[in-house]
Chains A and B, each alone.
Chain A
Amino acid sequence: MLDVSVAYNRYKFLGHEFLTWLWYMIDTDFEALQKADPEMDALAIGNRIVLENHRHNQDETITIRGDGAGLEEGVMALTKGAKVTEMHLIFRAGELEWRFSVKGESLSISSLKTPQTAKLESAEDIEGAVLEKIYLVERVVKLVEQLYAQFAKQRFDPDWDNKVVHRIMAWIRQGPAAD
């Protein structure tokens, strides 16, 4: 196993490719993503997306935020070679809804809002509340892990360059849905 900090920095591009691939999959093949959680009814980009472009040694960061913000600038950045480095997502299953952000380089989850849990009436309620919250957090953690596993299997398949990358390039050329 590589040194942790070396592996973190050397391969953080995989997290950026994962989030870019995820945008592509949300836009073009949601059914395939449902393998990550068969009860998932929707997965959408939320109110924040960050893209970075390091081409020609010039760092460019594009941040799009706001509930009604369109993704036109993000689409433009993709065409120039940027990748997604951070993404806010909305995940729905039945009547439940989770909102959270994923950072590409660390795959860490932040701003996680789970569906509301029952209010604590007494100290005896704590155990039930903790178990419920753990279950709700686990749904998101497992979703991210399963989505990443799906990406990784494609990423390290011999067909990656010839099939997946070509499809993503075509999707970027034709312009992803910008809303």
Chain B
Amino acid sequence: MQLLASTLSVTRYRVQGKPAEPVMDTVRNGLKDQMIREIDNDPAQKSIGWTESARPFAPDFESAQFMFGNHLVFSLRMDKKSVPAKIVAKHVNMATAKRLADNGQSHLSKNEKRQIKDEVLHRLYTRVPATPNVYDLAWDMEAGVLWFFSNLKEANEELETLFSKSFRISLIRMFPYTEADLAAGLSDHQRDALKQSGPALFSGGGHA
């Protein structure tokens, strides 16, 4: 489990709302509906879905234990395939030469070139295995707080999209503005001051 690793990164979220009652059924169904789909031997380039933190490559949310104390612990898995551009170019070149020879043509139309490239990509992506990345999360439903164990921009964006799609509630990322506005316990007057604030100067050296 990534959560048990010796070094972690944490991005903090507030969860806006609660899943529909019965909560655990809603969560389990959301996880099952959006569970990661394997794309090896498939032409898809990318697959994103939920998986079990303890068994990221054999998830089964029917039997999985993902409740730990007050926290739900599960993972976002992102599988991606990549084929180097030079390999794509080589195979497109070979397929183009074959098409020209087979049909006795001297050149191909724009549509034919596009069709060849699509066929080549389809074939190559079917053969290339996907590289998986697994990111754990811990969701305290009582507190309405979620920690995502990655600071990567793409992983966080995918989390926000998938979470909302799966559970029909949204995540608010906590950064300086949202933390001050929603969690720092400021008075209404202080929150107004927050909205109107600009950078302070701590030295005569100029704006920082």
Contact = CB atoms under 8 A, between A and B. Distances in A.
Q: How large is the interface on B (under 10, 10 to 19, 20 to 34, 35 or more residues)?
A: 35 or more
7 contacts: A4-B173, A13-B176, A13-B198, A141-B12, A152-B184, A165-B200, A172-B203
Most chain A CB within 10 A, of B69, B203, B205, B206, is at B203
Interface stretch (A26-34, A38-46, A88-96, A127-135): A127-135
Contacts of B194: 11, 152, 156
A108 B73 contact: no
Contact of A141 (B147, B173, B190): B147
Given A55-B208, A133-B4, A145-B179, A127 B173 contact: no
Contact of A109 (B10, B71, B175, B186): B10
Interface in B107-122: none
Contacts of A108: 9-12, 151, 175
Contacts of B199: 13, 17
Interface of B: 1, 3-4, 6-12, 54, 65, 68-69, 71, 73, 138, 147, 151, 172-181, 183-186, 190-191, 193-194, 197-208
Interface of A: 1-2, 4, 7-8, 10-18, 20, 52-56, 78-83, 103-114, 117, 120, 126-127, 129-131, 133-134, 137, 140-141, 145, 148-149, 152-153, 155-157, 160-161, 165, 168-169, 172-173
